[in-house]
Amino acid sequence: MILSTRTMAFSAMLCLLPGLSQAGSVEVLHYWTSGGEARSVQVLQQAMQEDGHTWDDFVVQGGGGGNAMATLQDRVLRGNPPTAAQIKGLDIQRWARLGFLSNINGLADEQQWDERLPPVVAAAMQYNGDYVAVPVNVHRTNWLWANKRILDSVGVAVPTTWAEFDQAADLIAAAGYRVIAQGHQDWQHATLFEAVALSVGGPEFYQAALVEHDFRAMRSDTMDAVFDRYYRLLEHMPLSDDLGEWNQATSLVINGEAAFQFMGDWAKGEFSAEGKVANTDYVCAPVPGTQNQFLFNIDSFAIFDLRGASQADQTAQNDLVRNIMDDSFQRTFNQNKGSIPPRTDMSMSAFDDCARVSMSEFIAAAANDSLLPSIAHGMATTGTVQGYFYEKIGELTVNPISPSESSRELAKAIRYGQYVIK
C-alpha cells in the first residue's frame, strides 16, 4: 500500500504528540445494561475516549453477572482475554491463581491505593499481596426501596421492624397496591434471603452461617426463623408476577405501582436515571432489622495479562486503571451507579442522602471490623458454593417446605458446594 504524503506527514505528527501516538484500545467485559448502569459505564467510556483510546464495549446481558462470567470463561480459555472484566470478590482470586491476571502494583503505588482504600477493599483487589484488580465502587445490598407517595397515601412510615412491615403491607395491599416488586431470578431471591438472614439472625449468625458455613448455625432454630420470615415475605411477591430483571421491579416502585423492593443500591441508579429524588419521590432505608449493618458488594475490574499486546494497548490498559481510581470518575460514576466510592478519602458533598448514609455506615463498619460480605454477590464464598446457594434458595422460593426442612436442605446444598469438585 503506497501511503500518501499527507498520511505520512499526519503519522509523523502523531508520533511527535505525546499521548496521541500511544492511542490504543481497551475491550472491557461488563453486564451493566440497565438505565442507571449504562449511564455509569458511559462515564468510563468517555474518560477513555478523552485519553484518545478506543473503547470496545464487551457487554453481556443479565443482572447479577452469571451470563457474563460464562462468556468470559469461554473467551479466556480460547486464549483471547479482554483488557479487563467485571469480576468480583473471591472470583478475583480464582482468575489470579490460574495466572491470567496482571500485577498492577506500579499503578497502585502511583495512586497511593494502600492509603486510600479501606483494608477490606484493598485485600479484595489483591492476590498473594499483589494488586490484580481495581475497585469501581462499594454497593450495599441490605436496602429497602419505598415509593413515598404510596406510603404517604396509606399513612405509614418506612418500616424499621418486621412487625411494622407486616402492618404496612396489610394497609398497602388493602389500598390495592402491589406490596413487594421483586424479580423472580435466583440471584434476586438470594439477595433478599441474605438480608433477611442478617436481620433475623444478626451479624454473628450471618458470618457463621453464610460466610463460614458453620453447620450448627446453618441447622439452628435461627435459620428456621430466617426461612419463616422469608416465606412470609413471599406472600407479598407472588410468583405469578412475571417480573424478570431486577430493574423491571425497580420501575414498578418508581412508577408508583408497587410500594417496596428489596435490592442493592444499584436500584438507586434507576431512580436517579428517571430524575427521582431521595426522600422526595422515594425513600431508601436499611432492610428492617439491619440498621447500622453493611452487607458489602464491591464491583471491580480484574486486569488481564495482555501478553504480546502492543505498547499502545498496554498504555490504554494502564489509563483504564488510572481513570477508574480518579476522583472525578469516582464521583460521577457512583452518583449514576447508586453506589459509593471505594476510596473513603473522597468528599461526599456531591452525593445524595442515601449515599452519605451508606458511606458513613461503611466507614463506621470498616472501623469496627463489622463489614459483612454479600454471599449473593460473590463476596463471601466460592462461586461453586454461591451457585448451590442460588439454586437451593430458588428451589425453595418456588416450592416452599417447612422452615426446619428448608434449613436442612440449604445446609446440605452449601456443604455439597464446599466439597464437590466441579
Applying CB under 6 A, which of residues 53, 189, 377, 392 lies at the interface with ligand GAL? 377
Measured in residues, the chain has a length of 422
Tell me the closest approach of the beta carbon of residue 339 to ligand GAL, in angstroms: 7
Site membership for ligand GAL, residue 81 (CB under 6 A): no
How are beta strands 54-59 and 25-30 bridged, if at all?
A: parallel
Q: Which is nearer to ligand GAL, 194 or 299 (CB)?
A: 299
- Alpha carbon 335 to its chain's center: 14
| Distance from C-alpha of 20 to C-alpha of 390, rounded to nearest angstrom | 47
H-helix segments, 207-326: 215-218, 221-234, 246-254, 266-273, 311-324
Tell me the closest approach of the beta carbon of residue 382 to ligand GAL, in angstroms: 16
Tell me the closest approach of the beta carbon of residue 158 to ligand GAL, in angstroms: 23
Residue 163 in grid coordinates = 412487625
Stretch that binds ligand GAL, among 30-38, 164-172, 280-288, 405-413 (CB under 6 A): 30-38
Q: Which is nearer to ligand GAL, 57 or 110 (CB)?
A: 57
Stretch that binds ligand GAL, among 29-37, 106-114, 119-127, 203-211 (CB under 6 A): 29-37
Q: Which is nearer to ligand GAL, 102 or 188 (CB)?
A: 188
Tell me the closest approach of the beta carbon of residue 137 to ligand GAL, in angstroms: 7
Helix, strand, coil percentages (3-state) for the chain, rounded to 5, are: 55, 15, 35
Tell me the closest approach of the beta carbon of residue 92 to ligand GAL, in angstroms: 13
How many residues touch ligand GAL (CB under 6 A)? Answer: 12
Tell me the closest approach of the beta carbon of residue 159 to ligand GAL, in angstroms: 24
Backbone φ, ψ for residue 102 (5° rounding): -100, 145
Beta-ladder partners of 372: 295
Q: Which is nearer to ligand GAL, 184 or 229 (CB)?
A: 184
Applying CB under 6 A, which of residues 36, 126, 135, 139 lies at the interface with ligand GAL? 139
Q: Please provide the DSSP assignment of 163-226 as one string.
A: HHHHHHHHHHHHTT-EEE----SHHHHHHHHHHHHHHHHHHHHHIIIIIS--HHHHTSHHHHHH
CA angle 385, 294, 218 (to 5 degrees): 40
Q: Which is nearer to ligand GAL, 67 or 328 (CB)?
A: 67
Site membership for ligand GAL, residue 266 (CB under 6 A): yes
Strand, helix or coil for residue 19? coil
Distances from the Cα of 305 to the Cα of 81, 82, 83, 91, 98, angstroms? 8, 9, 8, 16, 11
Tell me the closest approach of the beta carbon of residue 85 to ligand GAL, in angstroms: 13
Site membership for ligand GAL, residue 270 (CB under 6 A): no
Tell me the closest approach of the beta carbon of residue 249 to ligand GAL, in angstroms: 11
What is the rounded radius of gyration, in angstroms, for the C-alpha atoms of the chain?
Answer: 23
Q: Which is nearer to ligand GAL, 297 or 318 (CB)?
A: 297
Q: State the binding string over 31-70 for ligand GAL (x if CB under 6 A, else -).
A: xx----x-------------------------xxx-----
Tell me the closest approach of the beta carbon of residue 12 to ligand GAL, in angstroms: 44
* Interface positions, 290-349, toward ligand GAL (CB under 6 A): 297, 299
| Distance from C-alpha of 122 to C-alpha of 114, rounded to nearest angstrom | 7
Report whether 120 contacts 295 (CB < 8 A).
no
How are beta strands 372-373 and 295-297 bridged, if at all?
A: parallel
Q: Which is nearer to ligand GAL, 88 or 148 (CB)?
A: 88
| Distance from C-alpha of 391 to C-alpha of 387, rounded to nearest angstrom | 6
Site membership for ligand GAL, residue 246 (CB under 6 A): yes
* Interface positions, 380-419, toward ligand GAL (CB under 6 A): none
Q: State the residues that interact with ligand GAL by CB under 6 A.
A: 31-32, 37, 63-65, 139, 246, 266, 297, 299, 377
